């Protein structure tokens, strides 16, 4: 009997809507459809699901991110 394991990526792309720049951030915690915690330049930021994207605010700037690409691994013996 085989089972599948879901693996999250280590990094995701975060977009700043105020400056129109993108950056890589570490994905710390992810709850599908609710929120994700990321670490952006040593600062933890919580992004909450709003529509199709996750949105968070830090230092007067707005950051958005899409759902991370989940990898499904088939485990066998």
Residue pLDDT, tens place only, 7-51: 888 999 999 999 999 999 999 999 999 999 999 999 999 999 999
Q: β-strand 53-58 against 61-65: which pairing, if any?
A: antiparallel
Supply the pLDDT for residue 54: 97
**pTM for this entry:** 0.83
Residue pLDDT, tens place only, 51-66: 999 999 999 999 999 9
Supply the pLDDT for residue 58: 92
| CA atoms of 73 and 77, how far apart (whole Å) | 13
């Amino acid at each position: 009997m085989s089972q599948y394991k879901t693996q999250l990526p280590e990094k995701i792309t975060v977009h700043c809507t105020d400056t129109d720049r993108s950056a890589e951030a570490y994905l710390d915690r992810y709850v599908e459809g609710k929120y994700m915690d990321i670490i952006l330049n040593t600062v933890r930021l919580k992004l909450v699901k709003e529509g199709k994207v996750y949105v968070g605010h830090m230092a007067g700037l707005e950051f958005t991110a899409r759902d991370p690409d989940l990898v499904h691994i088939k485990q066998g013996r």
